[in-house]
Each structure stands twice: as structure tokens, then as C-alpha cells.
Amino acid sequence: MFDVVVVGAGFSGLYLLHRLREQGLSVRVLEAADGVGGTWYWNRYPGARCDVDAVEYGFSFSPELDRTWRWDERYATQERILEYLDHVADTYDLRRDITFGTRVAGATWDEGAARWTVRTEGGDELTARFVVMATGCLSKPKKPDIPGIESFAGPTYFTSTWPHEGVDFTGRRVAVIGTGSSGVQAIPRIAEQAARLHVFQRTANFIVPAGNHELTEDDHDPDTLAARRASGMACPLGLAFEFTETNLKNAVDLPEAERTAEFERLWNRGGLPMMLGFADLLVDERANRMVAEFIAEKIRRRVHDPEVAAALIPSGFPVGAKRLCVDIDYYEAFNRDNVKLVDLRATPIERVTPAGIQVGGTEIPVDDLVLATGFDALTGALTAIDIRGKDGLRLTEAWEHGPRTYLGLCVAGFPNLFAVAAGPGSPGVLSNMRVSIEQHVDWITDCVRYVDEQGMGRIEATEQAQDQWVEHVREVGDTTLFPRANSWYVGANVPGKPRVFMPYIGGVPVYREECAEVAAKGYAGFHLTPA
């Protein structure tokens, strides 16, 4: 029997393994992939990179890693992040406790023995006192329901499970379906290679420029790094950002020139902090429309053909309520002769045929189909596992009407089970994920130590604490514009998924304090019992 079984070997699973082992616990990590990396193992599409500054995205817990690793660009490529996570695994000799190529099919709680039995798809069983699901927030790809898609005769590539050997699109007629973050990153790179690229856009997204650039040794200076990390800890989104007096004001209260100057400054700075520009951008429709119009004007300037520009301007949902995309040369791709935008709002896809995609009665010939169609986010990887808690309660039953967690970390009825940063009810996906992952892992490992030190064998969130947290997450979400978009944050991209705004929007610092307080009060809201 292990003390802890961890499922997943991405950022979360790797740090968990390191921390739990440091505590002297026996740990086994089970990972479906053949290597470490999680997101960065699977998503190898052209153009894939982080959209949080790499120096902030890398782990903060290890002076050793700070000393031995250098990021080369502001936004590291997928290859570089995967190299980094391999370096983390090497540095801490993590692979010896990871079983690769092993997908977990189920986990069943034995109340009498106070232990979990974890079952793999291969039929192996492991027992453990605790299980931590480090299965990822965006790790369960979602296939689009498009008539005829299975009949396509050429190769179909999912951005989320891209072939390791890469794909050469030279001379090919390529179709990309999907214009979320993955599509926005892949499209300019595919456009550079393909003979012809059709981009099938159902919803135009709000996109801000990356402002990518090379990094120097100064960017890795220990004091600079420490300052950035401290700034990230204080920011609701976990991003290093020097708030000015202006950023604490409401956009609607400022003269237009002053407001536009700040939008312009943040636009030129590049990246996700665009949404930190003013206090009211994500809560007041009027302020949100101001930033929407600012972005629309940028699109009009970047895209030469006014009709194409108009189709690329998002409408019908607030800026930021769907995950903001960050681009390198996205709009410029539509100025190329070999790229054509197909606006599915005007002409929906009728069907995929063996030789192409039929739209408005015309078949567009296609050699290669690229699906950048997203994920069953937050809950997908968890509900794909047959998790059974007390009295055989299935997680899918407990979450029938939407996910319910305490702090995004635990679920009532499922003792000694934790989820990392992916748990609905946590701020993870609204933050620089590394910040949330480290905080979650630290909290979970402290919790396991506390249970052991108290001579307890079992910890479970109470229904009451969970109900209060779920209500709090909903209430805070409802004060914002987030629930108004059909986003993966509310599960709208998966037919039949209950519509619930899943992440906690209270911000990283508030959430961290809340978690710390729960721990300081002897894990308030949890029921601890001897084994």
C-alpha cells in the first residue's frame, strides 16, 4: 500500500511527488502519457506556447531550478516548457516513482479500511491512504459534433493530441476548425506552410498581442524573479503586475483620452494583464464595451480586408468572459493570399465529406483537417474516471447537477481525495496556473501531514462547508460578467453539461487566505476521524 497515489505527471503531479516524498511518504504517480509534462506533452501543435510570461510560469519553489534553468523567450514554446519539465523531473529524480503509459480507470473508497483502491485500464490495482487527482483542467479533448466528420478521408489532427513527429503541411490544402487559444496560436504557423488554409470560425474571440521577445540574463536575476513572484502572489490573476492608481479606478469614471492611453499602454505591454487595466472591466458592461471597442479598432487596423476584419470582431459576449487569447501574427495571417476565413455565423458547416467541408452548398476541398475544438474542461478528466466514494457514491452522481467541491480541493462523500488546481471552485484556470498549482500542492501536502500528526486516518469535507463554498463561488461569479458567455468556464462547449460557472473568481490572494484560514483552524469545514 502507498501513502499517496497521484494521477497525472504535469506541473501538478511533479510538484506533488517532490513535496510528498520530502515528507517521507511513499508515493506512486500514474500517468497515461509516456513522459512527464501533461499539457506540454500532449499539445505539440505548431505555435504552441504559454501565454503567461515564462519566468512566472516556471516553478518558484526551487532555488536549484532557478540556478540551472534559463528561459529564452518571454513566452516559451511548448518544446521549451517540455524540456523544462523534463529538467525538473531529472533534477529531483522524479521518474523512479512514476508509472508511465498507464491510464487510471477507477478509484474506489473502502470506508472500513480507510483506503482507496485505484484501478488502471490495464487491470492493475494499487491501494493508498490518499489519492490526489492531478489530472489537469484542460486535458480531456473534446471532439466536435459535426456531421460526417468520421468520413473525412485525409488525416485529422487534434491540437490537443498532436503527433510527436510533427506534421508537414507544405503544399497541402488545410482546414482548421476552432479559433480559441489553440487555433489562434496554430493558424499563423500553419498559414506559413500550407498551400491553402481555410479557417472555420464559429465564434470570433477577443485576442491581445503577446509582445513576445527574447530574454536576457537580467530576466533571471534572483531579485528580479523574487519581485515578480511576489507581485504575482498579490495579483488576483497571479500575474506580476505593477498596479498604478489608474488601474485601481473604474474605466467609466475616466475621460476618454486617459482611458484610451491606459488601454494603449497595456496593449503595447502585451499579454493577459490587459484585463487588469481598470477595476470595472469584468464587472461593468459599459466598461467592458469600452475595451471591446478598443480591441475592435485594433482588428480593423490590422486586417486589410474590411469584410474579413468585421467577421473577426467578436460580438455577443463580454471581453474576458471567454478566456482571452494571446496572439503572435494571428490577424496578419488573414492578410495572406493563401488564407481564407469561413465565418460559420454566416454559413454554418453542413457536413464534412471524404474530400472536404461543405458550407453553403459548396464543398471546400481539404487534404488535412485540424481540430482546435477544445476540451471538456475542469470536470472532464475527473468524471472520465469511475470514482466511487462512501457507500459507493459515484462522482458523476454527486455532480449530476454541476460540480460541487469544498475550496475546489475536496468533495463531500469522497474522503482522502484531493484535486489540484483543476478542481471546479478554485481560481486555478483564472490565474497563472503555476501559482495556483503550487498553492494547492502546498496546502494538500500540509493537510496530509496534519492528518498524520493528529493520528487521524481520514479527512472529509462536510456537506455544510461544501454547500457554503459552492454558494460563495456562485455569488462571486454572479457579480461579474463571466456567466454571460457560452464558455468552457460554464461548460457550454459540452452538450448536456450542467451550466455552472465553475472557477472561483474571488482572486488568488483572497482564495489563498481562505485556504490558509481553514488550515489554521484545524481544517475547518472538514471532518477528521481516526482510521
**Identity of the residue, 51 or 329, whose beta carbon is nearer to ligand FAD in the bound complex:** 51
Q: What Rg, from alpha-carbon coordinates, does the chain have?
A: 23
Question: CA-CA distance, 255 to 116, in Å (whole number)?
Answer: 60
Binding residues among 129-148 for ligand N01 as defined by CB under 6 A: 138, 144-146
Answer with the entry of ligand FAD, ligand N01, none that 421 interacts with (C-beta below 5 to 8 A by kind): ligand FAD
Answer with the entry of ligand N01, ligand FAD, none that 178 interacts with (C-beta below 5 to 8 A by kind): ligand N01
| Closest CB 381 distance from ligand FAD, rounded Å | 4
Identify whether the C-beta of residue 477 lies closer than 8 Å to the C-beta of residue 483: yes
> Which window, 165-173, 260-268, 370-378, 477-485, contacts ligand N01 (CB under 6 A)?
370-378
Give, in order, the Cα–Cα distances in Å from 115 to each of 127, 295, 388, 391: 7, 53, 12, 13
Residue owning grid cell 448536456:
496
**Identity of the residue, 9 or 175, whose beta carbon is nearer to ligand FAD in the bound complex:** 9
**Identity of the residue, 251 or 312, whose beta carbon is nearer to ligand N01 in the bound complex:** 312
Q: 98 phi and psi, to 5 degrees?
A: -115, 130
**Identity of the residue, 180 or 507, whose beta carbon is nearer to ligand N01 in the bound complex:** 180
Answer with the entry of ligand N01, ligand FAD, none that 32 interacts with (C-beta below 5 to 8 A by kind): ligand FAD
Q: Which of 149, 143, 111, 106 is nearest to 124 (CA)?
A: 106
- Candidate residues 202, 289, 340, 474; the one interacting with ligand N01 per rule CB under 6 A: 202
Is residue 458 within a helix (H) or strand (E), and if so which, with residue range?
A: strand 458-461
Answer with the entry of ligand N01, ligand FAD, none that 104 interacts with (C-beta below 5 to 8 A by kind): ligand FAD
- Burial string for 347-379 (b: 16+ CB within 10 Å, else e) reads eebbebbebbbbbeeeebebbbbbbbbbbbbbb
Give, in order, the Cα–Cα distances in Å from 222 to each of 55, 67, 217: 11, 9, 10
The number of beta carbons lying within 10 Å of the beta carbon of residue 449 is 15
The residues of the shown chain that bind ligand FAD, judged by CB under 6 A, are 7-13, 30-33, 38-39, 41, 43, 48, 50-52, 57, 103-104, 134-139, 182, 381, 385, 420-422, 432-433, 437
Show Cβ contacts of residue 429 under 8 Å, excluding neighbours closer than 6 positions.
Answer: 137, 138, 323, 377, 378, 421, 422, 489, 503
Q: Can you read off the three cell numbers belonging to residue 141?
A: 479533448
**Identity of the residue, 374 or 403, whose beta carbon is nearer to ligand N01 in the bound complex:** 374
**Identity of the residue, 279 or 325, whose beta carbon is nearer to ligand N01 in the bound complex:** 325
Question: CA-CA distance, 509 to 79, in Å (whole number)?
Answer: 31
> Which window, 112-120, 368-376, 441-449, 499-507, contacts ligand N01 (CB under 6 A)?
368-376
The number of beta carbons lying within 10 Å of the beta carbon of residue 223 is 7
Answer with the entry of ligand N01, ligand FAD, none that 433 interacts with (C-beta below 5 to 8 A by kind): ligand FAD
**Identity of the residue, 118 or 321, whose beta carbon is nearer to ligand FAD in the bound complex:** 118
Which residues on neighbouring strands pair with residue 120, listed in sequence order? 104
Show Cβ contacts of residue 226 under 8 Å, excluding neighbours closer than 6 positions.
Answer: none
Answer with the entry of ligand FAD, ligand N01, none that 144 interacts with (C-beta below 5 to 8 A by kind): ligand N01
Question: CA-CA distance, 304 to 395, in Å (whole number)?
Answer: 51
Q: How far apart are the first and last CA of the chain?
A: 15
Pairing of strands 115-120, 368-371: unpaired
- Candidate residues 294, 375, 406, 469; the one interacting with ligand N01 per rule CB under 6 A: 375
| Closest CB 136 distance from ligand N01, rounded Å | 10
The number of beta carbons lying within 10 Å of the beta carbon of residue 255 is 8
Binding mask 431-460 for ligand N01 (x = CB under 6 A): ------------------------------
Residue nearest to ligand N01 (CB): 180
Give the binding-site size for ligand N01 (rule: CB under 6 A).
26
Binding residues among 284-343 for ligand N01 as defined by CB under 6 A: 323, 326
| Closest CB 492 distance from ligand N01, rounded Å | 8
Q: Can you read off the three cell numbers belonging to residue 64?
A: 536549484
- Candidate residues 13, 38, 58, 183; the one interacting with ligand N01 per rule CB under 6 A: 183
Instruction: Encode 211-229 in three state secondary structure.
Output: CCCECCHHHHCHHHHHHHH
| Closest CB 440 distance from ligand FAD, rounded Å | 9
Answer with the entry of ligand N01, ligand FAD, none that 203 interacts with (C-beta below 5 to 8 A by kind): ligand N01
Q: Outline where DSSP puts E strands in 159-253.
A: 173-177, 196-201, 207-209
Identify whether the C-beta of residue 33 lies closer than 8 Å to the C-beta of residue 164: no
Residue 496: left (phi > 0), alpha (psi -120 to 50), or beta? left
| Closest CB 101 distance from ligand N01, rounded Å | 24
Answer with the entry of ligand FAD, ligand N01, none that 183 interacts with (C-beta below 5 to 8 A by kind): ligand N01
**Identity of the residue, 356 or 408, whose beta carbon is nearer to ligand FAD in the bound complex:** 408
| Closest CB 362 distance from ligand N01, rounded Å | 17
Answer with the entry of ligand N01, ligand FAD, none that 103 interacts with (C-beta below 5 to 8 A by kind): ligand FAD
| Closest CB 322 distance from ligand N01, rounded Å | 7
In eight-state DSSP terms, residue 194 is: B
The number of beta carbons lying within 10 Å of the beta carbon of residue 154 is 17
**Identity of the residue, 42 or 526, whose beta carbon is nearer to ligand N01 in the bound complex:** 42
Answer with the entry of ligand N01, ligand FAD, none that 326 interacts with (C-beta below 5 to 8 A by kind): ligand N01
| Closest CB 326 distance from ligand N01, rounded Å | 5
Binding residues among 464-493 for ligand N01 as defined by CB under 6 A: 488, 493
Geometric angle at alpha carbon 366, from 364 and 371, rounded to 5° = 105
Instruction: Give me the residues that bind ligand N01 (CB under 6 A), please.
Output: 50-51, 138, 144-146, 177-183, 185, 200, 202-203, 323, 326, 344, 372-375, 488, 493
